[in-house]
Structure 1
Amino acid sequence: MKEVEKRKQAVALKYDIEKDHAPKIIAMGQGVVAENILKLAEENQVVVQQDDRLVKQLLEFSVGTEIPPELYEVVAQILAFVEMVDKEKGLKQNN
């Protein structure tokens, strides 16, 4: 039996520690829209973290809204991961 490919979903977050109270949803979508979000992230060297459960939760909100307090901890872990990857890239680019 042929395995059905799961429909892609994506949510993009932005967080400016100096301006924002919490990370904001800046883009979201499924299918082709999700593929375009991921393509833009790759083209702009934006770190992508896969977390299907979190994406499903974030898709319940609207673009432009801050993430709810109950998701702060999991998003903080992702932001820490992104910061680590960005620092590693910076070290590699300088060498």
Structure 2
Amino acid sequence: MKGQNSITGKRAVALSYNSEVDIAPVIKAKGKGYVAEEIIARAKSNNIPLQEDKSLVELLAQMEVNDRIPADLYGVVAEVFSFVYQLDKSQEGKNS
């Protein structure tokens, strides 16, 4: 997930979710400035979709790496994962 530019600079938070092991999505990386740019660059180089949501990034940035997201954010994070799923599905046909 990609943060937008702000007065303090760019922020980014990377989420992961494996339904076989995780109870909830987990924060895998977070940072601002150069670290955010590196997270975004690595996501792009690995074809990991990015979604901008400044408010969500601000909330998730307050948490620690390896923390599970709290239940009150399940809905909005589910929307992010749905976006990624739909994007993956639309790319499947193009890569065949």
TM-score class normalised by the smaller sequence: over 0.9
| CA RMSD of superposed structures (Å) | 0.8
Residue 39 of structure 1: aligned partner: 41
What is the identity, as a one-letter code, of the residue corresponding to 1:82?
Answer: V
Q: 1:65-76, aligned counterparts within 5 Å?
A: 65-76=67-78
* Paired-residue identity, %: 42
Q: 1:19-30, aligned counterparts within 5 Å?
A: 19-30=21-32
Residue 21 of structure 2 corresponds to residue 8 of structure 1: no
Task: Give me the TM-score of the superposition, normalised by structure 1.
Answer: 0.92
Unmatched tracts of structure 1, length 5 or more: none
Task: Give me the TM-score of the superposition, normalised by structure 2.
Answer: 0.91
Q: Which consecutive segments of 4 or more residues in structure 1 shift more than 3 A?
A: none
- The count of corresponding residues between Structure 1 and Structure 2 is 90
Structure of larger gyration radius: 1
Residue 83 of structure 2: aligned partner: 81
